[in-house]
Structure 1
Amino acid sequence: MLRGPAPAEPYCGDLFGEIHLADMADAAPGPGIVQYFPGLAICAVAAGAAGWLSDHYGVPVILLGLLIGLALNFIARDPRTHRGLDLASHGFLRIGIVLLGFQVSIAQIVALGVLPFVALLIIMAAAFAGGLVGARIARQSRYAGLLAGGATAVCGASAALALYGIVGKERLSQAQFALTLVGVSMASALAMSLYPAIAAELDLSDAQAGYLIGASIHDVGQAIGGAYTISDAAGADATIVKLARVTLLAPVALLVSLMIGPARAGSPRPSWRRLAMPWFITLFLAFVVLNSLVDLPAVAATNALAASKALLLLAVTATAMRSRTDLLLDLGWRAAAPVATASLASFAAALALVMIGANG
């Protein structure tokens, strides 16, 4: 008896194989600490070298971290370093900004007085305007101008890192961001040397010199250190003015967020959502309030400052490593223009207001 062809066998083996592979994919572990280790280890070594050089030669540590990171940016070509470098440049940045909140309080703004505080707002506005004008003159993105102006107005590289978290790499390349950081750090280091000499040449009083330096030098340590080279009284005044600027980081971040809107086109957010600050800025403000209401031990503030500096140094170094040198070369001198004009505008406004007695 002849029989027809046998019915086709079901592909049970293939089906089982697909189910098995799907189960394996679901069971695969996420990225563990081992996958972060190469990037974090290299970043830590580079940051450690920057810290050692800074301690021994007196060069600003943030600037050294940037330069060493840029020199080692070929390391980022290896995909195994990406997870660690991204964690340092984004995660460590945000935690470092949060910890800065332990250094400032609302009482520092109150101690400044009404007229000096209004003058400080005018100086910060001048820095923002200078950054935008410089970006326009050099045909750079307005986001580059906002970043340079905000960094100059508030607290240098720390503010630049915080504001870049709002601007985003979709609107401003990491190469431009790295150059802005280099420019801000170099401008602050130069100002620390020049501004005290200018204050002495103009025969400014200790109060005037302290206000001028505290209101116009970007970096906290360099502003306070530069003022103390004049006198202890000038250093004390500069400390109050400079820390008042740091306290305004959260309002400045909110203002920038409202000005530029959502990062991705086609995804508009309602107005009430745009009023929400990034979580790390919100936590920064919460710690400022906590530091204002609770008398924290001095050791807690000291340790928080040390941790913040270390995390921000790691973030800066990792960001430089992830920047492409070819894009840095393409940007050329134009990338430095917003920082230069913002710095000049900030100093000119501060000097003018000090000369008319707006520092109180």
Structure 2
Amino acid sequence: MREKTIPLTEFLRGKNLLHITSLNLSGQQLKKWPQEIFLCRNLRKLNLSSNQLDCIPKEISSLTKLRVLNLSNNRLTQIHTSVFGLQKLRVLNISSNKIKSLPHQLQNSSISELILSNNLLTSVDYTLIQGIERLVLSNNRIEQFCPDINLPALYHLWLTGNPCCKNGHICYCVKLPKLKKIYPYINETTAIQLKTQSIMSKNKIFISYSHEDEEWLKIVRVHLKTIENIIGGIDVWDDTRIKTGDKWKEEIDNALKNAGVAILLVSPNFLASDFITNDELPPILKKAESEGTHIFPIFVRQISKTVFLRSKLKDFQFLNAPEKPLRRCSDPDIDAYMGKLLDEIIDKMGL
């Protein structure tokens, strides 16, 4: 149902309230919640932004199908705990209010996107946001953002306009394994103190392959080049970038440390390589477990099923099936697999 901005009583006249799934009551100078709202039991999206509301009534618990709630630009000083009992609620926008703290019930809510910009928060209780994927905390009074527990779901974070952005009290570390984007950007915030030895460059792609499979490296690189040219935001690395005079082992180690994505071109030659097995693969798998490096393994040639099931790669989801390696595919099939690879990389890297 299309959103309406006409007066609520006029909009509801003659309608079956159970048929209403979306209401836009933005900018209506409301000081109290219209009781008719709570009769719309199938409501999925509710916009009450830019009003004069100073509380959230407990009756909101009747809106069990609500998925998006926009209460931005009101006069709220706290969030009623009933909001966090809405099992379908995914997006809560409560920006531009006077919120000073978050209820502990947030920890068990189903909310994945929480917008809290322009409030009065001075700190963050990290235990409450472990399920949040997109968190907007811009323009509050937060002195530091240094998680001491894992935030496994968080991949977008906005902190611009907080004291922590000026005093350098922001830490990016393994506690944020899925973080794709943070605002302000790292390279624009020179005052940030990094409390880990290095930060994983989310835009670097490391390709591990056997030199006997170089033909497949060239194909993958051609397709990745389309991301570089059209979208940007990635840096592809493989050992062909090692120049004469470079310390090759050191170059590979540095590239591995900074990789947010690893593409593995798996074949008998790949599994037979002592260097890959002993030097490249272990740190890649370790980073996948501890830092959230995204692994994209691809069968380029068929390998023994028995050998594969005993390898360290058996638990990873491959781009293609073991019985259909790229060598057995037609050109259109290869292009289709490469298209799938690019789509997944673009999604994982937040491009």
What's the TM-score, normalizing by structure 1?
0.23
**By percentage of residues, which structure has more strand?**
2
Bigger relative contact order, structure 1 or 2 (CA pairs below 8 A, ≥6 apart): 1
**By percentage of residues, which structure has more helix?**
1
What's the TM-score, normalizing by structure 2?
0.24
